[in-house]
Structure 1
């Protein structure tokens, strides 16, 4: 069975842990000085937050699978949908060792499909990645989102928007 993965970059880890613990009515399953993760069954989601210098907000989305065969199936699906799927094997990221594939959706949102092999004591280390478009393997920064594109700032005008700050008010709602 697959599990949705959401990773959010935060600017205040302690306040965010307090908020999400209350929202999910559950304590995190992993807490580090720069990271926290909830492995929830209702909803079935691997929800992670980190404070590691990335832009605050959505870091990436993903699908966590339970076996190598499920990961292979996801790789085939992604390859049929988008060119340039990036493969990582045995990488250290987010206090886990995983095999994974990365792809951007049509809007540029990074999606990770991964099979966790083991828990590890470090957040990450430099990764070696390869893609069908690359002639060779390349090394990326330590941990996460090798294909992420710059974020697009959403307009707060129009009939449906997400407030950008707690002070923003809008009479419209989705």
Structure 2
């Protein structure tokens, strides 16, 4: 079974935890100094927020799978979407160990697909997903580039400070 993942960057973590706890009628399943997550069954969603210096708003969307077979199937779908795909493999991100891949929609909205394999005591590395946030039309019309540039990936993980989950 798959679960929708939504990650929102926030300016005030404490106020946002209070708001989303009331909205979902549930307390977070994980709270860290810069991060909180709700694993909800109604609606079935992995909803995360973080205060890591990124621009406030929707950071990225994703699909969390439950088995390696579902992840392999989803990677195949990403390839069919005809957008650049970054397969990170095993990584630590958002206080979890996982295997993941990234792509973006035609408008540049990041999409993450991942299988969580365990917990982590650290947030993990942030990926510089430069190139994945830009639409093909914007890439092609850039004054400095004629051809579509390859995405630049400097590390592993979610958006946030230093950049993306």
Give the structure-1-normalised TM-score. 0.75
Unaligned runs of 5+ in 2: 130-148
Q: How many residues align?
A: 143
Asked if the contact 1:100–1:115 (Cα under 8 Å) also holds between the matched residues in 2, the reply is yes
Indicate yes or no: 2:123 matched with 1:143. Answer: no
Asked if the contact 1:82–1:103 (Cα under 8 Å) also holds between the matched residues in 2, the reply is no
Distance 1:56 1:85 in 2: 25
Distance 1:44 1:110 in 2: 20
- Give CA deviations for 1:107-157 in whole Å, capped at 9, x if unaligned: 110000000010100001366x9xxxx99x9532x6314996xxxxxxxxx
Q: Which gives a bigger RCO, structure 1 or 2 (Cα 8 Å, sep 6+)?
A: 2
User: In structure 2, what is the equivalent of residue 123 of structure 1?
Assistant: 123
Distance 1:74 1:145 in 2: 21
Greater C-alpha radius of gyration: 1
* Helix, strand or coil at the partner of 1:62: strand
Distance 2:20 2:101 in 1: 27
Asked if the contact 1:3–1:63 (Cα under 8 Å) also holds between the matched residues in 2, the reply is yes
* Helix, strand or coil at the partner of 1:27: coil
Indicate yes or no: 2:11 matched with 1:11. Answer: yes
Give the structure-2-normalised TM-score. 0.79
| Within-5 A mapping of 1:41-52 | 41-52=41-52
Q: CA deviation at 1:82?
A: 2.2
Distance 1:55 1:103 in 2: 19
Unaligned runs of 5+ in 1: 149-174
Indicate yes or no: 2:88 matched with 1:88. Answer: yes
| Within-5 A mapping of 1:60-79 | 60-79=60-79
What's the C-alpha RMSD, in Å, of the aligned pairs?
Answer: 2.5
Distance 2:87 2:94 in 1: 17
Asked if the contact 2:8–2:60 (Cα under 8 Å) also holds between the matched residues in 1, the reply is yes
* Helix, strand or coil at the partner of 1:139: coil
| Within-5 A mapping of 1:18-37 | 18-37=18-37
